[in-house]
Amino acid sequence: MPRNRQPAASDLRRERRALLMLREERLRDLGGLTLEMYRRDQFNEGLVVERCAELVAVEARVSEIDALVRGAGLRRRQAAICTCGAPLLIGARFCPSCGRSLDLVELDDQSA
């Protein structure tokens, strides 16, 4: 019977670094694409949604890797939601929906 082995933490960290670089590149490309669509007055919502979905998938994998490295399993993904219920992006300092400082959210969670 083959064992269900998880990758080594170093492999996961390497994959995480590569994904974060990919995320930054895709985010920059998305901004440029959106700007060009605006300039040409030819906004393609389907294309923007597709690119955003790719970014969200990359962020989900990064969160999954973070959880695996910490040994918490996939349950850690729940921590990426603000108290108002809005999903939080990786590296965000403020909630994009309510504007709450995420430092305050972390402090509230630690004191509970």
State how many domains the chain has: 2
- Domain with 94, as residue range(s), is 81-112
Over 60: is that where the pLDDT of 74 sits? no
CB–CB of 74/64 below 8 Å? yes
pLDDT over 70, % of the chain: 79
- Do residue 103 and residue 69 come from a single domain? no
The predicted pLDDT at position 70 comes to: 79
Which tens digits make up the pLDDT trace of 9-63?
A: 788 889 999 999 999 999 999 999 999 999 999 999 999 999 999 999 999 999 9
- Do residue 45 and residue 67 come from a single domain? yes
- Do residue 71 and residue 85 come from a single domain? no
Q: What is the pTM of this model?
A: 0.59
- Do residue 95 and residue 66 come from a single domain? no
Cα–Cα–Cα angle for 5, 56, 52, rounded to 5 degrees: 145
- Do residue 73 and residue 87 come from a single domain? no
Cα–Cα–Cα angle for 20, 63, 82, rounded to 5 degrees: 110
- Do residue 73 and residue 92 come from a single domain? no
